[in-house]
Amino acid sequence: MNKFINRADVGKNKYGVTLDRTDLSLDDWIVHAQEEFMDALLYLEKIKEITNKNYKKETNVIYKDDSIVNSVLNKIISEKKEDSWLDKAQNDLLDNIINLEKMKKN
């Protein structure tokens, strides 16, 4: 709960407003939420990039002399990437963005 309070304080200090503001329409709020979700998707992409790079680096160090093992590990890594929890999180965020867009049109 403290994280939410601290985050609200950061927003108030940075933008000079709180979520209690009344100058935004429902569409404006939806656009803000979509932008936040898109930012989250970018953060998840970066996390995936770092995670995969570090994982590949670790496996290359351990198996640097065995190209067959390396090729198998790289295949596992690529398959793991497709089914990762990060991809699920990104898909969930995309679903939320789409749902917000539908709400905006109604």
101 with 34: CB under 8 angstroms? yes
pLDDT in tens, 27-65: 999 988 989 888 888 888 888 888 777 666 655 555 455
Query: pLDDT over 90 for what percent of the chain?
Result: 10
90 with 41: CB under 8 angstroms? yes
Helix/strand/coil for 83? coil
Supply the pLDDT for residue 24.
93
71 with 79: CB under 8 angstroms? no
Higher pLDDT: 101 or 45? It is: 45
pLDDT in tens, 70-80: 555 565 556 55
